[in-house]
């Protein structure tokens, strides 16, 4: 096949970043984006904490809004114990949010579109919250799988369902984020490639017609911005919910 073609998945392929050093230590292009996200978060804090003003400036207000948003989410969802998990939830939320956002820019790698990344994060959350559950309640945490107020003869059916639903948490948590980010980026690439195909296939008429996929991409950009924020929020609030279950059992 001659002419342009759509390579919607090429954007997800991993290479090594940071030049020869990265090649030597297998530091990938997705790690570059992670590093950028971490540096942006730390930089935001450095800028936001410069003035420490009573009446905050823009940067300070931005960091304060982020802080209070996650802080309230932790306290509202987990309860008083949420304070202990706040740094963890904040780290996860800000890392995913920045990862989603910088992935929207051309030439930036969207590391949250990699199932290995999201599954690792989700497994960490799953194992951590389970650990918190056993740490807080000992083996009493196993009662979490026994629903209250249910006739005894139903338990042999319900307990396995509860366990399966509990075990499926990391899967749904990771696939939700991975699928959302991947789908968005694939759609973008497809519509953008479609413009090239139209122009190559139908000349001037095709170039004019490619306004349609262009418009779709503009609309998609807005949607993806929403998805980027929303999915980071969903990941963080589910983390809080799992921690709530671990601390309070119900």
Partner 1 sequence: MRRFSAALLLALAPSAALAEGTMPQMDFANPLTLDQVGWMAVILVVLYLLLSRWGLPQMGKVLENRAAVIARDLAAARAAKLEADRAVAQLTITLSTARANAQAEVAKAVADAKAEASARAIALNAELDAKLAESEAQIISARDAAMAAIKPVASEAAREMLIKLTGSVPAQEDLVRRVDDALAARKAA
Q: How far apart are CA 85 and CA 229, in angstroms?
A: 21
Instruction: Provide, rounded to whole angstroms, the least separation between the CB of residue 15 and partner 1.
Output: 7
Instruction: Provide, rounded to whole angstroms, the least separation between the CB of residue 105 and partner 1.
Output: 19
Q: Pick the closer one to partner 1 by CB: 83 or 143.
A: 83
The residues, any chain, with a CB within 8 Å of residue 118's CB and separated by 6 or more, are: 112, 173, 174, 175, 177, 178
Instruction: Provide, rounded to whole angstroms, the least separation between the CB of residue 85 and partner 1.
Output: 11
**Helix ranges (DSSP H) in the chain:** 19-25, 29-51, 58-78, 82-103, 115-137, 155-167, 169-209, 211-248
Instruction: Provide, rounded to whole angstroms, the least separation between the CB of residue 157 and partner 1.
Output: 35
Q: Pick the closer one to partner 1 by CB: 12 or 233.
A: 12
Q: How many CA atoms lie within 13 A of 29 on its CB side?
A: 14
Residues in the chain: 250
Q: Which residues bind partner 1 (CB under 8 A)?
A: 1, 5-10, 12-16, 26-28, 30-31, 34-35, 38, 41-42, 45, 48-49, 52, 54, 60, 63-64, 67-68, 86-88, 90-91, 94-95, 111, 113-117, 120, 178, 182, 186, 189-190, 193-194, 197-198, 201
Q: Pick the closer one to partner 1 by CB: 120 or 165.
A: 120
Q: How far apart are CA 155 and CA 117, in angstroms?
A: 36
Q: How far apart are CA 114 and CA 25, in angstroms?
A: 20
Instruction: Provide, rounded to whole angstroms, the least separation between the CB of residue 236 and partner 1.
Output: 14
Q: Pick the closer one to partner 1 by CB: 49 or 163.
A: 49
Start-to-end CA span in the chain (Å): 59
Q: Pick the closer one to partner 1 by CB: 16 or 136.
A: 16
Q: How far apart are CA 204 and CA 209, in angstroms?
A: 9
Phi, psi of 28 (to 5 degrees): -85, 170
Instruction: Provide, rounded to whole angstroms, the least separation between the CB of residue 28 and partner 1.
Output: 4
Q: Pick the closer one to partner 1 by CB: 144 or 195.
A: 195
């Amino acid at each position: 096949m001659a002419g342009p073609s759509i390579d919607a998945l090429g954007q997800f392929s991993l290479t090594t970043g940071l030049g020869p050093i990265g090649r030597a230590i297998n530091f990938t292009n997705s790690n570059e984006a992670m590093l950028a996200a971490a540096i942006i978060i730390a930089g935001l804090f450095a800028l936001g904490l410069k003035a420490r003003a009573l009446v905050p400036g823009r940067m300070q207000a931005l960091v304060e809004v982020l802080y209070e948003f996650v802080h309230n989410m932790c306290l509202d969802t987990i309860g008083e114990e949420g304070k202990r998990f706040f740094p963890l939830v904040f780290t996860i939320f800000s890392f995913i949010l920045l990862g989603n956002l910088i992935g929207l820019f051309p030439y930036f790698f969207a590391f949250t579109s990699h199932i290995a990344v999201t599954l690792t994060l989700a497994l960490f959350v799953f194992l951590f919250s389970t650990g918190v559950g056993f740490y807080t309640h000992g083996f009493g945490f196993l009662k979490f799988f026994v629903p209250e107020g249910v006739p005894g003869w139903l338990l042999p059916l319900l307990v396995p369902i509860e366990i399966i639903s509990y075990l499926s948490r990391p899967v749904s948590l990771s696939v939700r984020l991975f699928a959302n980010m991947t789908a968005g980026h694939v759609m973008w690439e497809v519509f953008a490639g479609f413009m090239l195909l139209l122009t190559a296939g139908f000349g001037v008429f095709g170039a004019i017609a490619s306004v349609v996929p262009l418009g779709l991409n503009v609309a998609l950009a807005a949607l993806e911005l929403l998805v980027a924020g929303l999915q980071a929020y969903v990941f963080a609030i589910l983390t809080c919910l799992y921690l709530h279950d671990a601390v309070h059992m119900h």
